[in-house]
Chains A and B, each alone.
Chain A
Amino acid sequence: MEEMLFYDRMQFAFTITFHYLFPQLTMGLSLIVVYFKWRFLKTNDPHYNKATHFWMRIFAINFAMGVVTGIPMEFQFGTNWAKFSELTGGIIGQTLAMEGMFSFFLESSFLGMFLFAEKILGHRWHFVTGLLICLGSWASGYLIIATHSWMQHPVGYEILENGKFVLTNFSALFTNVWVWPSYLHNQAASMVTSSFVVAGIGAFYILNNRNVSYGKLFLKTGVVFGLVSSLVVAMPTGDLLAKNVVKYQPVTFAAMEGIFHTEEKGAEIVLIGQPDVKDKKLDNKIAVPNVLSFLTYGNWNTEVKGLDQFPEDTHPTNISGLYYAYHIMVGLGTLFIGMTLLAIFQLMRGRLFQTKWLLWAFMFMMPFPYIANITGWYTAELGRQPWLVYNLMRTADGASPTVSSGNTLFTLMGFVGLYALLGMLFAILIGKIIYKGPEPEKH
């Protein structure tokens, strides 16, 4: 049983982590692509249209990867988490079915047109198809977040005698206190990823001394979008989410912040340190006194509850993992704000494109928003453990009753192999597009 649950969780974690490398780029990038197209319509400068085409090519490959790795996600609710699907399908099936009907049809119908029918449609309608794809992918994010929010903070339900969750209030799914902070936080974080990718590739072109005019355009666009979105990630969305966690999942909050013992006279904020779960302490800790109380309650001396206040069978199952995921996310988020602020400062002084070290920094920064996004999701998901539906259904009770661990391990290995291949092919193709650049040399 333990072994089966382990492989089920591994497979879901692995496939969702790999999958989310792609939508986090395409949701934000679709907006930037549409922005370039809009600039082209306004200025009639062919540069902007070439920039649109360049990012469209990168978008298309990422989008295709998102689609093919996304289908297994929908299937796995049934294949690996049958008990969960049976008991909660009446509720989360609703939002997932809506995602298929409202977003996937919209995206997939217009993607083909956006990619191949610019000549047939004309520029104006080409812009509109881009906008529709953007709308579809943001709607998809919304419906997934609504599903996720219900698992974190179930609302509008009733539990029958046979254990089934029944929907009693449809609109509650969308007015859940968890939905809007999570959605905006997630979408802004997706904008951060795409902004840093656009800026990073821009920096590469400037440093490489090829396609320099595009490099400047990309870097400038990237840092402006990047600054706005990294600020939104922190305030108000990140802050609101943290307050939700404090209020509704205090034990998760304690584990995230690494608070083993209740701090009655104001809690310190831990910047660095390694949790020692067995002895309930942090090693090599660097912390600032009283700041956590202030950030959480607006008062330097308010008590913050530690893990010792909660029964052990409600503690998150992987406290160290949760603590690290959260701290990596927050640390990187702070770094993104700092870097984009600096870049904007240099841009306004007219020195951004000459500040070589900053260009290098932006180029090597590209993977980090991905790490921040993924660790952010790990924070949410590890933080929900040991529950599948918070406080109501345990993860251990959600797995498929008839699928043996050997079968799950078999398919997990298959996914690892297949996705390794996909990852390599993806890297080759993206590398080729970046190498060719927005204005390929004529032959």
Chain B
Amino acid sequence: MEFFWYVVLIVILGTYVVLDGYDFGAGIIHLFFAKTEKQKKAITNSIGPFWDANEVWLIAGGGILFYAFPTLYAASFSGFYLPLIMILWLLIFRAIGLELRGQFQHHMWEAVWDKAFGIASLLLALFFGMALGNVVRGVNLGMVVNGVSTQEPHYFFLPLWNSSFSPQSSQLGIIDWFTLFLGVVSVVSLMIHGANWIIYKTSSDLNPKLKEIIYKLNFVLLGLVIISLSVWHMIEKDPFHNFIENPILFIFPLITFIGLFGLFRVKNFKKDGTGFVFSTLFLVGGFTSTTASIFPVVLPSTNSINPSLTIYNVANEPYALSVGVYWFAIAFVLVIAYFIIQYKVFSGKMDDVGYGEH
């Protein structure tokens, strides 16, 4: 039962990464590359009717985490207190930037909300990458000081940073060189993803330039992936053991690399949606490979006194978990149906949807 809900959680969060990922990415592209009013409008139109539904995947992920793994939810949300609240603030800023910009036609008003939307998108991409980094690296569970737990074994608290910025320090922080590095990987890959979305959903005159940008960024991304593979062992002992024991899991890294290498052909794609498929593969593969490498651990312990949190020691009780399967099955079918209807109604290019003009 725990495994079932773990898969559900990974599917929901993975979908969230792909969906909100493209609108974060579109926001970063908007910040750095959209110059004319028409280009900006095309970008916001292309994500306008979707971003809200995309964020619901995060809320649903939070809900499933709360329900299926309450101890993990309680421990991680209180332990990562500050960055989580800041993510909330950024989500709010981003939403109001997107929704308010079109309300008054004045260049100062528009400039303010353009920046709010763009900068919040950039910081969110960075923060979510760092969040993944924190989960992989682990935390000082039980807040062990000199070999003694000062809290219950699953609780912890992390400050934003410590003076060494090192993931191997005994005093950990949210921001260290490793998590920051994953943050950068996240920003670059979401920029590619967002650019692909814009190419797919608009006929903006920015699109040819975006293909050029994707092509260049893909080299950067390849470099970052190579670096991350070579430093990963410093963070996680034996990151490949799950893959070696279960070679079927190699499918996840394989998907990642298909996505990554496929995108080098971005200038030759005949259909506008092809690039988006490849960047989706990269994100899905990257996310699942990372979670598979630490499975069944969901939050590693960096001390030897308290055990890591696994899906088995943080889960809800069997009855509650099995009764949820029934309602979840119904709900999930409905969610897929809404999703199909939504993307059917807003199919094709979206330059002229007129988002935010009401």
**A residues touching B (Cβ–Cβ < 8 Å)?**
56-57, 60-61, 64, 67-69, 71-72, 74-75, 77-80, 82-83, 85-86, 88-94, 96-102, 104-106, 108-113, 115-117, 120-121, 164, 166-168, 170, 400-404, 407, 410-411, 414, 418, 422, 425, 429, 432
A98 B75 Cβ-Cβ under 8 A? no
Complex contact A93–B88 (CB within 8 A):
no
B317 CB within 8 Å of chain A: yes
Q: How far does the alpha carbon of A79 sit from the alpha carbon of B81 in the complex, in Å?
A: 6
Task: Decide if B64 is an interface residue (CB 8 Å cutoff).
Answer: yes
Chain A residues near B84 (CB-CB < 8 A) = 75, 78-79
- Those of B35-73 within 8 Å (CB) of chain A: 48-50, 52-53, 55-56, 58-60, 62-64, 66-68, 70-71, 73
| A113 vs chain B, min Cβ distance (A) | 5
- From B199-207, B248-256, B340-348, the one touching the partner chain is B340-348
B63 contacts A402, C-beta separation under 8 Å: no
A–B pairs, 26, beta carbons within 8 Å:
A57-B358, A67-B95, A72-B85, A75-B62, A75-B77, A78-B62, A78-B74, A85-B70, A89-B66, A89-B73, A89-B74, A90-B70, A91-B320, A92-B66, A99-B63, A109-B341, A110-B342, A112-B50, A112-B342, A113-B341, A116-B48, A116-B358, A117-B345, A121-B345, A166-B317, A407-B81
- B246-288 vs A, CB cutoff 8 Å, 1 = contact: the mask equals 0000000000000000000000000000000000000000000
Q: Are B62 and A100 in contact (CB under 8 A)?
A: yes
B156 to chain A, nearest CB (A): 6
Instruction: Give 15 A-B pairs besides A80-B78, A411-B85 with Cβ atoms closer than 8 angstroms.
Output: A72-B88, A74-B66, A75-B85, A90-B317, A90-B320, A97-B68, A98-B63, A100-B56, A102-B331, A105-B331, A108-B52, A113-B49, A116-B353, A167-B323, A400-B74
Q: Which 7 A-B pairs have CB atoms at the shortest separation, nearest pair first? A: A89-B70, A78-B77, A112-B49, A93-B67, A100-B63, A97-B63, A400-B78
Q: Is the CB of A74 within 8 A of B319?
A: no
Partner of A115, one of B70, B100, B103, B358: B358
Report the nearest A residue to B343, measured CB to CB. A109
For the complex, is B335 an interface residue (Cβ under 8 Å from A)?
yes
B33 within 8 A of partner (CB) = no
A403 nearest CB across to chain B (Å): 5
Contacts of B339 in A (CB 8 A): 109
For the complex, give the distance between the alpha carbons of A112 and B344 in Å.
Answer: 12
Contact of A85 among B58, B66, B96 (CB under 8 A): B66
* Given A68-B95, A75-B84, A85-B70, residue A120 in contact with residue B323 (CB < 8 A): no
Residues of A contacting B68 in the complex (Cβ-Cβ under 8 angstroms): 93, 97
In the complex, what residues of A have CB within 8 A of residue B335's CB?
101, 105
- A106 near B334: Cβ-Cβ < 8 Å: yes
Give the one of B66, B96, B320, B342 with max A CB within 10 A: B66
Query: How far, in angstroms, from A96 to B68 measured CA to CA in the complex?
Result: 11
If A82-B155, A402-B143 touch, whether A109 touches B338 (CB-CB below 8 Å) is yes
* B3 contacts across to A, CB distance below 8 A: none
Interface centre among A60, A83, A105 (most CB of B within 10 A): A105
B331: chain A residues at CB < 8 Å are 98, 101-102, 105
* Residues in chain B near residue A407, CB distance under 8 A: 81-82
B132 at the interface (CB under 8 A from A): no
Residues B91 and A402 in contact, CB atoms below 8 Å apart = no
Enumerate chain A residues within 8 angstroms of B345, measured Cβ to Cβ: 113, 117, 120-121
Smallest beta-carbon distance A329→chain B, Å:
30
B79 at the interface (CB under 8 A from A): yes
Are A97 and B96 in contact (CB-based, < 8 A)?
Answer: no
Check A112 against B63 for contact (C-beta < 8 Å).
no
Q: Does B76 interact with chain A (Cβ within 8 Å)?
A: yes
Q: Chain A: which residue is nearest B332 at the CB level?
A: A101
Q: Closest Cβ of chain A: how far from B239's Cβ, in Å?
A: 28
Bound-state Cα–Cα, A410 to B334, Å: 40
**By the criterion CB–CB under 8 Å, are A429 and B103 in contact?**
yes
With the chains together, A164 CA to B48 CA distance in Å? 43
Residue of chain A at shortest CB distance from B338? A109
Contact, CB under 8 Å: B91 / A68? yes
**B-side interface size class:** 35 or more
- Which of A96, A120, A410, A429 is within 8 Å of B67, CB to CB? A96
Task: List A contacts of B169 (CB < 8 A).
Answer: none
Q: Which residue of B lies closest to A56 (CB)?
A: B358
Q: Does B157 contact A (CB under 8 A)?
A: yes
Point out the residues of chain B lying under 8 angstroms from A418, CB to CB. Answer: 89, 92
Chain B residues closer than 8 Å to A101, beta-carbon distance: 60, 63-64, 327-328, 331-332, 335
Q: How far is the CA of A168 from the CA of B332 in the complex (A)?
A: 24
- Check: B164 CB closer than 8 A to any chain A CB: no
Selected contact of A414 from candidates B52, B60, B66, B89, CB within 8 Å? B89
Q: Kindly state the separation between the CA atoms of A116 and B338 in the bound complex, as whole angstroms.
A: 16
- Residues of A contacting B302 in the complex (Cβ-Cβ under 8 angstroms): none
User: Is there an interface contact between A90 and B316, defined as CB atoms closer than 8 Å?
Assistant: yes
Distance between Cα atoms of A86 and B316 in the complex (Å): 9
Contacting B151 at CB < 8 Å: which of A60, A69, A167, A402?
A402
B53, B55, B85, B332 pick with most chain A CB within 10 angstroms: B85
| Cross-chain contact of B338 among A74, A106, A411 (Cβ < 8 A) | A106
Output the least CB separation between A96 and chain B (Å).
5
Indicate with 1 or 0, residue by residue over B142-174, a CB within 8 angstroms of chain A CB atoms. Answer: 010000000110011100000000000000000
Give the shortest distance, in Å, between A104 (CB) and chain B (any CB): 4
Please give, as numbers and ranges, the residues of chain B lying within 8 Å of A80 by CB-CB distance. Answer: 78
**Chain B residues with CB below 8 A from A83, complex form:** 74
B316 touches A425 (CB 8 A): no
Q: Is the CB of A422 within 8 A of B53?
A: no
Residues of chain A with a CB closer than 8 A to B223's CB: none
Least CB distance, A265 to chain B, in whole angstroms: 49
Tell me if B354 and A116 are in contact (CB < 8 A).
Answer: yes
Query: A436 vs B155: C-alpha distance in the bound complex, in angstroms?
Result: 53
Residues in B neighbouring A60, C-beta threshold 8 A? 358
The docked-state distance in angstroms from the alpha carbon of A422 to that of B100 is 11
The listed residue (A74, A92, A115, A403) touching B78 by CB distance below 8 A is A403
Q: Is the CB of B92 within 8 A of A422?
A: yes
Which of B60, B63, B334 counts the most chain A CB atoms within 10 A?
A: B63
Smallest CB separation, B27 vs chain A (Å) = 16
- Do residues A108 and B100 form an inter-chain contact, with CB atoms below 8 A? no
Smallest CB–CB gap between B89 and chain A, Å?
A: 6
Give the residues in chain A near B316, CB-CB below 8 Å. Answer: 89-90, 93
